Amino acid sequence: MVRPYRPTPELPEHLRELFARFPVDRSLAQDPLSCVRPFATDRRSAEIAGVVASTLAIGNTTAIRGAFDRWAGLVGGDLAGWVEAAGASSDVGALNGFKHRWIRADQIAHLGRKLHDLYGQHDSLEELYLDGRGPVGAFAEGLDGLARALRGPAAGQPAPPGYDHLFPSPLDAGASPCKRLALYVRWMVRPDYPDLGLWTRISPAELRVPLDQHVFWIAYHLGLTQRRTRSWGTVEEVTAALRSVDPADPVKFDFVLCHTGISGDCPKHRDLRVCGPCLVRPDCRLWHGPRRAS
- C-alpha torsion sign, points 135, 141, 144, 148: negative
Between the two ends of the chain, the Cα-to-Cα distance in Å is 29
Q: Could you read off the pLDDT of 141-164 as tens digits, one per residue?
A: 999 999 999 999 998 899 999 999
Amino acid at 9: P
- 287 falls in which pLDDT band (50, 70, 90)? confident
Beta bridge mates, 157: 154
| DSSP per-residue string spanning the chain | -PPPP---TTHHHHHHHHHHH--HHHHHTTSTHHHHGGGTTSHHHHHHHHHHHHHT--S-HHHHHHHHHHHHHHTTT-HHHHHHHHTT--S-GGGTT-EETTEEHHHHHHHHHHHHHHHTT-S-THHHHHHHHGGGT-HHHHHHHHHHHHSS-BTTBPPPTTSGGGS--TTSTT----HHHHHHHHHHH--STTS-----SS-GGG------HHHHHHHHHTTS---SS-SHHHHHHHHHHHHTT-TT-GGGGHHHHHHHHHTSSS-SS--HHHHTT-TTGGG-GGGTSS----
Please name which of 123, 120, 94, 116 lies closest in space to residue 106, comparing C-alpha atoms: 94
- pLDDT tens for 232-266 read 999 999 999 999 999 999 999 999 999 999 999 99
Instruction: Tell me the per-residue pLDDT of 15-71, one tens digit each, with 9 for 90 and over.
Output: 999 999 999 999 999 999 999 999 999 999 999 999 999 999 999 999 999 999 999
Q: CB under 8 Å to 101, separation ≥6 — which residues? A: 58, 59, 63
- The whole-model pTM stands at 0.94
The rounded distance, in Å, linking the Cα atoms of 64 and 194 is 18
Nearest to 284 by CA among 259, 262, 257, 249: 257
**Model confidence over 167-222: pLDDT tens digits?**
999 999 889 999 999 999 999 999 999 999 999 999 999 999 999 999 999 999 99
Say yes or no to pLDDT of 14 above 50: yes
Phi, psi torsion values for 288, nearest 5 degrees: -125, 0
Whether residue 205 contacts residue 247, with contact meaning beta carbons closer than 8 Å, is answered with: yes
Would you say residue 89 has pLDDT above 90?
no
Residue 161, Cβ neighbours under 10 Å: how many?
10
